[in-house]
Amino acid sequence: MKTLVLHIPGHPPLPLEGEDRVWTLGRSSQNDIAIPDASLSRHHARIGLKDGVPYLEDLGSLNGTTLNGERITVPHPLSEDDEIQLGQVPLRLGGPGRGPRVRIGADLGSSSSAGSLVLPLERLRAAPERRSESPETLYLRAVIREIEALSLELLEDSPPEQLLAHLLDRLWTLLKPWRAAVLIQDRGGLHTVASRGPEGDQPILLARGLVDAALERRESVLFNDFAEDQGLASPSLLLSGVTSAMVTPLEHQGVVKGLLYLDSHPPRKPFTEEDLRLASTLAHLATAKLEQARMREEALARKKVDQELDLARHIQQGLLPGFPPDIPGFEIHGNNLPSRQVSGDLFGWWPRSDGKWLFCLADVSGKGLGPGLLMASLQATLEAWTERELSTSELAFQLSRNLARHTDGRRFVTAFLALLDPESGTLTYTNAGHNPALFLRADAAVELLEAHGLPLAMLPGQPYGEATRSLVPGDLLLVYTDGITEATNPEDEEFGTEALVALAGDLRREPLAALDAALLGELDRFTKGTPYLDDRTLLMLRRT
Residue 201 pLDDT exceeds 80: no
Greater confidence, 138 or 81?
Answer: 81
Q: Are 442 and 473 in contact (CB under 8 A)?
A: yes
- Cα torsion through 210, 213, 219, 225, rounded to 10: -40
Q: State the Cα–Cα distance between residues 143 and 141, nearest whole angstrom.
A: 5
Residue 134 pLDDT exceeds 70: no
**Residue 467, burial from CB neighbour count under 10 angstroms (0-12, 13-18, 19+):** middle
Look at residue 140 in the predicted model and tell me its pLDDT. 64
**pLDDT-based confidence at residue 98 (cuts at 50, 70, 90):** very low
> Mind listing the pLDDT tens digit for each residue in 299-335?
777 777 666 656 656 655 656 677 889 999 999 999 8
Residue 429 pLDDT exceeds 90: yes
Distances (CA, A) of 225 to 205, 238, 264, 435, 494: 18, 10, 13, 79, 70
What three-state secondary structure class fits 457?
coil
Greater confidence, 195 or 290?
Answer: 195
Report whether the peptide linkage leading into residue 267 is cis, meaning its omega lies within 30 degrees of zero.
Answer: yes
Residue 100 pLDDT exceeds 50: no
Residue 124 pLDDT exceeds 50: no
Look at residue 110 in the predicted model and tell me its pLDDT. 45
**pLDDT-based confidence at residue 112 (cuts at 50, 70, 90):** very low
> Mind listing the pLDDT tens digit for each residue in 484-531?
999 999 999 999 999 999 999 999 999 999 999 899 889 989 999 888
Pairing mode, strands 33-34 and 22-26: parallel
pTM, 2 dp: 0.53
